[in-house]
Structure 1
Amino acid sequence: MKYLIAGLLLLLSASANANLIESENYTNDSNNNYWTNLDLGLDVLRLDWVDTLGSDSQVDLAGYQQFVADSKGAWRFATWAEFVSLYNWFDTDPTTNGWSIAQNVGGNLFFELNGYGPDHTDQYGFDHEGYTYWQFGTLNADEELEFVWFADFGDQDERVVCVEWSVLCMHSYFPDVGSPMWTAANAIGMASINVAPVLVRDFVGSFSARIANVSEPSIMWMLLTGMIFLGYRRAKSAV
């Protein structure tokens, strides 16, 4: 019986650790060109893929509109409310407008999920000072693309060297909604700029998400039931 109890405790511990590994509010499968924001219920195409839509050159507005039309309602431009909510989801320092150390947590996650654009090639997507950025946005109320600037220093990548004299190492840049940095007119399609609109689709569940959120507890209880039954059989045979 002591072995049964030890096994049950080990199984429960392993299950708890597995839940901690898989984030509760997003999933990120590197094999996909999108990640999933579970808080907002959206699959979000990675910016470094949207930048070219998987082609050899950056895409203009007409190209994105055609992509959305061809997807037959699946992928679409984020609504303005969704875009602002997604933007604020990465805000780990809401009290600061601009560069901050606290915002670096949200900045690192932003670039982990969205990748890096073509602009900087000196250091794995960062420039010679260890800096990179994205201009990303969506259609505003006038059906025009509006963008915001999101920048970061590459402290999350040990291969990237941030110059010693820079006071912004381990910082990310996050301007408040509606600040002057919320403009990037005529930037779409310019090959040397990291710029892309946010394209999303409604999250309806995927195989990986079902495993993370449903199947794992079911498997756990199946194993628990099996171990309990095994213990019962052993106890009965001993009698």
Structure 2
Amino acid sequence: MSYMFENNRKIAVITGASSGFGRASVIKFVANGWNVIALARRAEKLSELQQEVGEQYCYVKQLDVCEQQQIDEFAQFLDQQGISIDLLVNNAGLALGLESADKALHDDWQVMVDTNIKGLIFMTRALLPQMVEKKKGHIINLGSIAGTYAYPGGNTYGASKAFVAQFSLNLRADLAGTGIRVTNIEPGLAETEFSVVRFHGDQEKADSIYQGLEPLSAEDIAESIFWSASLPSHVNINRIEIMPTCQSFSPLNISR
């Protein structure tokens, strides 16, 4: 056991842990007997989270999944400290803008690709060899119903989550026989900082999305993540698609 955790709890690495699904997942896992290594860009938010759940169970590290060097250094840190992880939750991700493809900002598209696709696959690639070596582990990716159901303005965000869905399935194919589990969690409408980020900090616009509705909460998704991870090792949940009751499938649009 490494110096940072002086107990025999399982260890989860959770990205994007400073808010939303990631933060709620850290709280859920620690409360249910896990150690967590929480990763995010906002060090102050991570520190607040660590104080809330207990330093003895939560180690925090500032990390931007868009920076491959930081990911590689983190993987080296785990090896150097003899830290063997049981679970990787690839939660870091975002949507930027809701404009049609002809009006979307190039920079927004680039950030979504760097975070939702590159960050997820590089983090997976960095930590996967350790799991393969010990023939044990679980990777949980945070996708979205946007990866299945197209909507106006979803363009690159939806495509990036479709990538996550297919990457998760291909991981399962690659890892057959290794004992490693792979799960893709696909939330629908959920009220977190997601829309605030999407609308570049416009809180009023973000709030209007959820007005009069009862969307999913961060805790709802954390519950599904924890459930998937807590099942017996011979049980693999391939994917979970979750919507609030108020949300359903859009009718196929016909323009006249």
- What TM-score, normalized to structure 2? 0.28
Which structure would you say has the larger RCO, counting Cα contacts within 8 Å and 6 or more residues apart? 1
